[in-house]
DNA sequence: CAGCATCCTGCGTGATACTG
DNA sequence: CAGTATCACGCAGGATGCTG
């Protein structure tokens, strides 16, 4: 069995998953978007909060992550095409289906990675 | 709320998670180990099967992944200290608790990433 | 406001050779 | 068998400046 073995799916969804969420912000972006559409600047600001204070996020980086996520089909880009520009990103159906997975990751992380005080971290959001 | 904000935990388990499983093989190693202890060579061979045929895995790479996983507390290294060498890697309790998360990832990946034929991929293992 | 263009740097990854 | 040592490379990611 398991005749399907193309390079992308590679018989191992995990590899594809890793590629899809590679990058420091992709997971967090999807997570932040779970509450509804957000504008570019909002995402950017949201990522700074909670980050390890590593200055700012290069627009180039965020832009690429966003584009990658769009091409992955997790998020959708809506350009209102006006001046000043207004662009919103929102989760696609696929993206929404992915949220529980991130929740599982967060939950596990809160239990096993947070030596600090897990309770507060869970209550954090 | 959320007073805890060290760089490692960073108020965001996701970041720590990403660091922990960064690397192409870590997730797959943990997954392969879920069935029981495995020797270095077995892991190596196991990783080749299902990989995108990108030749072999550099020992240096596998070694580092294994060491990182050990330091993360996900796996445990047991050296039998004999000649020829025999070393087994097995999941720790923490590692075992992580398996369901990978399962969730695999499950989601099988449903949303496998354009080929998801049914066979699920049945694959 | 929401990006794109350019340069630069560190690290993850691969290949090869060697060792206890 | 289970690694370590060394070299090399590509790419993610940061910094800065500019644009429609």
CATH number, domain containing residue B72? 1.10.10.10
Residues 46-85 of B with CB under 7 A from strand C: 54-61, 64-65, 83-85
User: Is the CB of residue A29 inside 7 Å of nucleic acid strand D?
Assistant: no
Judged by CB atoms closer than 8 Å, whether chains meet at A13 and B50 is answered as no
Residue B40 lies in a domain: yes
Residue A7 lies in a domain: no
Residue B48: what pLDDT? 87
Average pLDDT of the segment spanning A84-105: 97
Average pLDDT, chain A: 85
Q: Residue A17 is encoded by which pair of tokens?
A: 């998953």
Judged by CB atoms closer than 8 Å, whether chains meet at A104 and B101 is answered as yes
Residue B58 lies in a domain: yes
Residue A52: what pLDDT? 59
Closest CA to B29 of B56, B73, B62: B62
Q: Residue B98 is encoded by which pair of tokens?
A: 């992580």
Residue A79 lies in a domain: yes
Residue A11 scores a pLDDT above 80: no
Residue B1 lies in a domain: no
pTM metric for this prediction = 0.85
Judged by CB atoms closer than 8 Å, whether chains meet at B11 and A50 is answered as yes
Task: Provide the sign of the torsion angle of the four alpha carbons A22, A101, B25, B110, taken in this order.
Answer: negative
Residue B16 lies in a domain: no
Residue A29: what pLDDT? 97
Residue B3 lies in a domain: no
Residue B20 lies in a domain: no
Placement of tokens 């069935």 in the chain? B35
User: Would you say B29 and B11 are in contact if contact means Cβ atoms under 8 Å apart?
Assistant: no
Q: Residue B94 is encoded by which pair of tokens?
A: 């923490």
For residues A80 and A55, what is the distance between their CA atoms, to the nearest angstrom? 30
Task: Chunk chain B into consecutive blocks of 10 residues (it has 125) and report each block's average pLDDT, rounded to whole numbers.
Answer: 43 86 96 97 89 77 97 97 96 98 96 62 47
Q: In which domain, by residue range, is A92 found? A: 25-124
Residue B104: what pLDDT? 97
Element (H or E) spanning A38, and its range? Answer: strand A38-39
B19 touches chain A (CB under 8 A): no
**B56 burial via Cβ count (<10 Å: 0-12, 13-18, 19+):** exposed
Placement of tokens 């999807």 in the chain? A30
Residue A118: what pLDDT? 44
User: Count of CB atoms within 10 A of residue B54's CB?
Assistant: 9
Whole-angstrom CA distances from A103 to A32, B14, B53, B95, B119 are 12, 9, 33, 18, 25
Element (H or E) spanning A87, and its range? Answer: strand A87-91
Contacts of A115 in chain B (CB under 8 A): 9
B112 touches chain A (CB under 8 A): yes
Average pLDDT, chain B: 85
* A109 → closest Cβ in B13, B105, B114: B13
Residue B43: what pLDDT? 96
Domains contained in chain B, number: 1
- pLDDT tens across A43-64, in order? 999 998 866 555 789 999 999 9
Tell me phi and psi for residue A78, to 5 degrees: -115, 115
User: Count of CB atoms within 10 A of residue A10's CB?
Assistant: 20
């Amino acid at each position: 069995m398991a005749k399907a073995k193309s390079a992308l799916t590679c018989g191992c969804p995990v590899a594809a998953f890793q590629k899809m969420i590679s990058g420091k912000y992709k997971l967090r972006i999807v997570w932040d978007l779970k509450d509804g559409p957000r504008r570019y600047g909002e995402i950017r600001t949201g990522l700074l909060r909670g980050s390890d204070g590593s200055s700012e996020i290069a627009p180039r980086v965020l832009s690429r992550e966003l584009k990658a996520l769009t091409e992955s089909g997790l998020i959708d880009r809506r350009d209102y095409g006006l001046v000043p520009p207004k662009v919103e990103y929102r989760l696609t159906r696929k993206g929404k289906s992915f949220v529980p997975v991130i929740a599982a990751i967060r939950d596990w992380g809160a239990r096993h990675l947070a030596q600090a005080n897990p309770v507060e971290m869970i209550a954090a959001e």
